[in-house]
Amino acid sequence: MNYNSTRNKSTVVTASQAIAQGISEEGGLFVPQSLPKYSLEDIKALAAEDYRGRAKKIFADFLGDFTEQEISESVDAAYTAEKFGSENPAPISYIESGNTKMSVLELWHGPTCAFKDMALQILPHLLTKSLSKTYSGKEAVILVATSGDTGKAALEGFKDVDGTRIMVFYPVNGVSPMQKRQMATQKGGNVSVVAIEGNFDDAQTGVKKIFTNSDIKAKLAENNKLFSSANSINWGRLLPQVVYYFSAYCDMLNEGKIAPGDKINVVVPTGNFGNILASFYAMNMGLPVNKFICASNSNNVLTDFIKTGTYDKQRKFYTTISPSMDILVSSNLERLLYHLTDGNAEKVAGWMAQLSGEGRYTVDEDVKAKLDALFYGGFCDDENTQKTISELYKEENYLCDTHTAVAVNVYKQYVAETNDTTPAVIASTASPYKFAKSVLEAVCSDELPADEFAMVEELSAKTKTPVPAPLASLRDAQVRFTLECSVDEMPKVVLESLSIK
C-alpha cells in the first residue's frame, strides 16, 4: 500500500515516508492509492476482537512497510486500560430521545480528556518507527504550535518516547486556565513548554519559520537530529481515527443495537475535517454509512460549502465556547476533494491555489452532486450550544461538552428536516470537564465560582459525575514550565533546550 499526493499524482511514497514527511513537497497531503475493502464477514470478524485487535487488523492493511510486530507494539503501547480508563478506549453511551437513537461515541477517555488522544497516543510510535526506516538513527524534534488541545495531547503522546524531543509553544493569553495548567505541569524528560507573547497565529508562524530555517536545520543535522511534525494533516493521525468508527459499529453489533449490514449516520463536530474524513474512509472500506452530518459552530464555512459548493474563507472569525472548532481553513477537506474527483490532483491543486490566492473556490457540479448525496452540513451558535447541553442533561441525564453539544444540536436539526432516523453515531470529542465554565453555566443558574478548579468541583457536585482523574490531579501538580518569550526569541529557545550552540 503506497500513497500519492493530493496535488501531484506522480508522487508515490511508502506509509513510513508519508508519516515521517507529514506533508508532500509541493504542499499536498498524502492519500492512500487504494483502500482495503471489508465485507460483512470481515466486519463480523472484527467484532469478535477487542479494540486493539481491530486496530491491528486495520493498521496492517494501510502500513505496508511496517512489520506485524511493529504494528502490534505500537497499538499495545498506545491503547492501554491505564491510559484510557478501560479496555475499550472508545466506549459508547446510548441515548434514546423521542424518535431518535443516538450512540454517543466517547473519544475523550484518554490522558488529556480530548479526542486528539486517540491519534496522538499512537502517532509517536508510528513516527519513530517510520523515521528509523527512512532517516535511521536520528532523534526527532517535534515542534508544535497550539491553541490548547493539540499541544497537551502531543506532549502526553511523546512524553518519554525514545528517540524524540517535543517542544510546545502556546499563546500566553490564548488558552484556557485549565489548558495552561495541563501544559505547565507536563511530566516527562523530553518535553518543553514555552508561552509566546502573541496570539496563536504568531506562535504558528514562529514554528513554521524554524522548520524552514536552513541554518537551524543544519545545526540539528550536525547533532544527529531532525525536525518533525505531529500536525493533524499527518496520515499517522488520520489512520487511527478510522479504527474507532469500525469499532463503534462492532460494539453496536455486539450490543444488539444494530443488525449486520444496517446503515448508520455519522455526526461529527468538525474543525480541521480530520475526524469526519476518517469516517468517510471507513465507509469507502465497507462500513455501512448512510449520511455524514458535519456540525460546525458559528464559524460555519463548511456548512456553506456543503450547501453551495463554494468554499469561502473570507468571513468574520468568531471566538466561541467550542474553541477547537474555531477554524476557517479546514485542511483535511483537500483529501475529500481528491477522492470526490476520483484522484484529480490537478483540479485539487487548482482549487487550493485559488483558496490561498483569492480566498475562495467553487467545486464543479459532479463533486457537488456527490457532496449532496453523502453530506449534510449544519451549524449551531453558542447560545444554542448551551441550550443543548442543558436539555440533554435535564431530559436524558447525559452531560456533554460544548463541542459534542454542537453535534447533537445539528443532528436534531437534521432529523427535524429529513425525518431520517437511521441510528446515529455522534462523535463526542471532549470531556465536559475540559470546558467546565461553559458547561456549568449551561446546567446551573447559580452564580459561578471564580476559580477554574472550584468550577470543576461544583460541576461534579451538581451533576454527580466524576471529575476525570487526569484533570483532578492537576490541582496539586507541580508547575514545571514558566518560560515566556517573544516570537523572535523562539529559534534561540529551541536551540538552547537542545543544548546546541
Ligand X SMILES: *Cc1c(COP(=O)(O)O)cnc(C)c1O
Question: Which CB sits closer to ligand X, 62 or 273?
Answer: 273
Radius of gyration of the chain (CA): 22
- HSE of 146, CA atoms in CB hemisphere, 13 A: 29
CA angle 269, 150, 407 (to 5 degrees): 10
**Cβ 147 vs Cβ 171: under 8 Å:** yes
Nearest-approach distance from CB 241 to ligand X, in angstroms: 8
Nearest-approach distance from CB 175 to ligand X, in angstroms: 13
Question: Which CB sits closer to ligand X, 20 or 430?
Answer: 430
CA distance 8 to 327: 26
Nearest-approach distance from CB 335 to ligand X, in angstroms: 12
| Residues 143, 149, 154, 160, CA torsion sign | positive
Question: Which CB sits closer to ligand X, 182 or 232?
Answer: 232
Question: Which CB sits closer to ligand X, 88 or 299?
Answer: 299
Question: Which CB sits closer to ligand X, 425 or 493?
Answer: 425
Nearest-approach distance from CB 403 to ligand X, in angstroms: 4
For the chain, how many residues are written? 501
Question: Which CB sits closer to ligand X, 178 or 325?
Answer: 325
Nearest-approach distance from CB 328 to ligand X, in angstroms: 12
Question: Which CB sits closer to ligand X, 111 or 271?
Answer: 271
Strands 484-485 and 191-196, by their bridges, are parallel
C-alpha cell at 199: 496570539
Nearest-approach distance from CB 332 to ligand X, in angstroms: 7
**Cβ 181 vs Cβ 151: under 8 Å:** no
Q: Where are the strands (E) in 441-486, listed by range?
A: 484-485
Nearest-approach distance from CB 202 to ligand X, in angstroms: 20
C-alpha cell at 271: 474543525
Question: Which CB sits closer to ligand X, 139 or 334?
Answer: 334
CA distance 120 to 118: 6
Strand partners, 310: 362
CA 231 to each of CA 124, 134, 208, 498: distance values in angstroms, whole numbers, following the listed order: 12, 19, 12, 21
Output the DSSP codes for 432-444: GGGGHHHHHHHH-
User: By the criterion CB under 6 A, which residues form the site for ligand X?
Assistant: 114-116, 149, 232, 269-275, 324-325, 403, 429-430
